[in-house]
């Protein structure tokens, strides 16, 4: 158990009737990393997570947490696991404090000093009934529940919903501390900036298919940046074609926009020769990176998704 990866998803397929929510997804999350799980709404993020947690059962394939089987060893897994469901619901008639007491009792006790410390960091008000909470305050209670027993693996489904920016920052710090101590965080999100800021690796899921898993640093390295250049006079439409690392150059009079990867040197050389006046660069966001690099896989997933729907209709 000690050496096994934090989470393994092994050829997971989950169908609901004719609808395939997740198809043949495999991924391995090592210990000590924050893994970002990214994808649009309805891509299959929550289905994957709920399979790992044994809330739903795979149609095919299996999941393991810390080397333990998600179905057979569900109870043992939960001893070492913290979970924050998406769109969190709690018992409206209990106060925040009572909610934590209840879950702590069911766990057989927790370190209350730790609970108090986390509550303090988030500025959580635990004395009111959950039913009277704002969504942000409810989310804070959910985060306390996920982290209070110092779990080796934490699975968070859309954790920052409703949190204000300061609390988000504090939460990201807490998450990083937790991972630095040797634990693992699985962070599902459709908020690109969040994943970009905190994740070590990121997986991109679309229409139930895992498109790619990349190290964040690699992604940044090969990530595209956008550049826009101003020249004193109109330039030839083909002036920027075929330059190393430059994609999709568009010329409009004396303005040129293009995207590039790697070094800017070859591009600058040509630009300088043409007497460039000014230059602006910006990063392309994660979403676009994926669409760019994994265009084929994305198209295949989209086609596959449509194919499934058609089969469903036929059946």
| Residue 65 to residue 8: CA distance in whole angstroms | 6
Size of the site for other proteins (CB under 8 A): 38
Work out how close the CB of 25 gets to other proteins at its nearest, in angstroms, rounded to a whole number: 17
* Edge-to-edge order in the sheet of strand 278-283: 246-252, 255-260, 225-230, 278-283
Which residue among 8, 54, 158, 261 contacts other proteins (CB under 8 A)? 54
Minimum CB–partner distance for residue 93 and other proteins (Å): 6
Indicate the residue among 78 and 121 with the shorter CB distance to other proteins: 78
Alpha-carbon gap, residue 315 to 313, rounded angstroms: 5
Q: Which residue in 75, 233, 314, 315 binds other proteins (CB under 8 A)? A: 75
Stretches 50-58, 196-204, 221-229, 276-284: which one binds other proteins (CB under 8 A)? 50-58
- Nearest approach, Cβ of residue 51 and other proteins (Å): 9
Please tell me whether residue 219 binds other proteins under the rule CB under 8 A: no
Residue 305 binds to other proteins (criterion: CB under 8 A): no
Please identify, among the stretches 97-105, 118-126, 200-208, 267-275, the one whose residues bind other proteins according to the rule CB under 8 A: 97-105
Give yes or no for residue 101 binding other proteins (CB under 8 A).
yes
| Of 4, 56, 212, 274, the one binding other proteins by CB under 8 A | 56
76 is a contact residue toward other proteins (CB under 8 A): yes
The one among 1, 40, 107, 215 contacting other proteins by CB under 8 A: 107
Residue 314 is a binding residue for other proteins (CB under 8 A): no
**What would the 3-class secondary structure string for the chain be?**
CCCCCCEEEEEEEEEECCEEEEEEEEEEECCCCEEEEECCCCCCHHHHHHHHCCCCCCCEEEEEECCEECCCCHHHHHHCEEEECCCCCCCCCCEHHHHHHHHHHHHCCCCHHHHHHHHHHHCCCCCCEHHHCCHHHHHHHHHHHHHCCCCCEEEEECCCCCCCHHHHHHHHHHHHHHHHCCCEEEEEECCHHHHHHHCCEEEEEECCEEEEEEEHHHHHHHCCEEEEEECCCCCCCCCCCCCCCEEEEEEECCEEEEEECCCCHHHHHHHHHCCCCEEEEEECCHHHHHHHHCHHHHHHHHHHHHHHHHHHHHC
Of 25, 61, 63, 27, nearest in space to 44 by CA: 25
Which lies closer to other proteins via its Cβ, residue 102 or residue 294? 102
The smaller minimum CB distance to other proteins, of residues 129 and 176, is found at 129
| Residue 11 is a binding residue for other proteins (CB under 8 A) | no
Q: Indicate which single residue of 67, 69, 79, 212 sits in contact with other proteins (rule: CB under 8 A).
A: 79
Site membership for other proteins, residue 62 (CB under 8 A): no
Pattern 108-147, binding to other proteins, x per CB under 8 A?
x----------------------xx---------x--xx-
Applying CB under 8 A, does 221 fall inside the site for other proteins?
no
Cβ–Cβ < 8 Å for 227, 267: yes
The yes or no reply on residue 81 touching other proteins (CB under 8 A) is: yes
Which residues here bind other proteins, judged by CB under 8 A? 50, 53-57, 74-79, 81-83, 85, 87-94, 98-99, 101-103, 105-108, 131-132, 142, 145-146
């Amino acid at each position: 158990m000690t050496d096994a990866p934090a989470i393994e998803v092994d050829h997971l397929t989950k169908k609901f009737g004719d609808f395939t929510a997740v198809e043949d997804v495999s991924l391995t999350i090592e210990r000590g990393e924050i893994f970002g799980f990214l994808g649009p709404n309805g891509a299959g993020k929550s289905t994957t997570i709920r399979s790992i947690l044994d809330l739903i059962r795979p149609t095919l394939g299996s999941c393991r947490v810390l080397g333990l089987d998600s179905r057979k060893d569900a109870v043992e897994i939960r001893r070492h696991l913290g979970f924050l469901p998406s769109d969190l619901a709690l018992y409206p008639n209990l106060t925040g404090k009572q909610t934590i007491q209840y879950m702590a009792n069911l766990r057989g006790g927790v370190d209350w000093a730790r609970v108090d410390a986390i509550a303090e960091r988030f500025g959580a008000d635990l004395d009111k009934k959950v039913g009277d909470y704002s969504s942000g305050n409810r989310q804070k209670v959910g985060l306390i529940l996920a982290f209070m027993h110092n779990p080796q693996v934490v699975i968070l489904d859309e954790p920052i919903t409703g949190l204000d920016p300061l609390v988000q920052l504090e939460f990201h710090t807490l998450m990083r501390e937790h991972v630095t101590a040797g634990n693992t965080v699985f962070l599902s999100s459709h908020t690109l900036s969040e994943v970009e800021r905190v994740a070590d690796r990121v997986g991109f899921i679309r229409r139930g298919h895992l498109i790619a898993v990349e190290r964040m640093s690699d992604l940044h390295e090969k990530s595209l940046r956008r550049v826009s250049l101003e020249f004193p006079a109109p330039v030839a439409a083909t002036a920027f074609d075929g330059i190393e690392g430059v994609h999709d150059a568009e010329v409009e009079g004396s303005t040129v926009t293009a995207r590039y990867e790697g070094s800017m040197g070859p591009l600058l050389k040509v630009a300088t020769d043409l007497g460039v006046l000014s230059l602006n660069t910006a990063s392309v966001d994660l979403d676009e990176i994926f669409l760019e690099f994994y265009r084929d896989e994305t198209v295949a997933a989209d086609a596959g998704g449509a194919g499934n729907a058609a089969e469903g209709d036929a059946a």
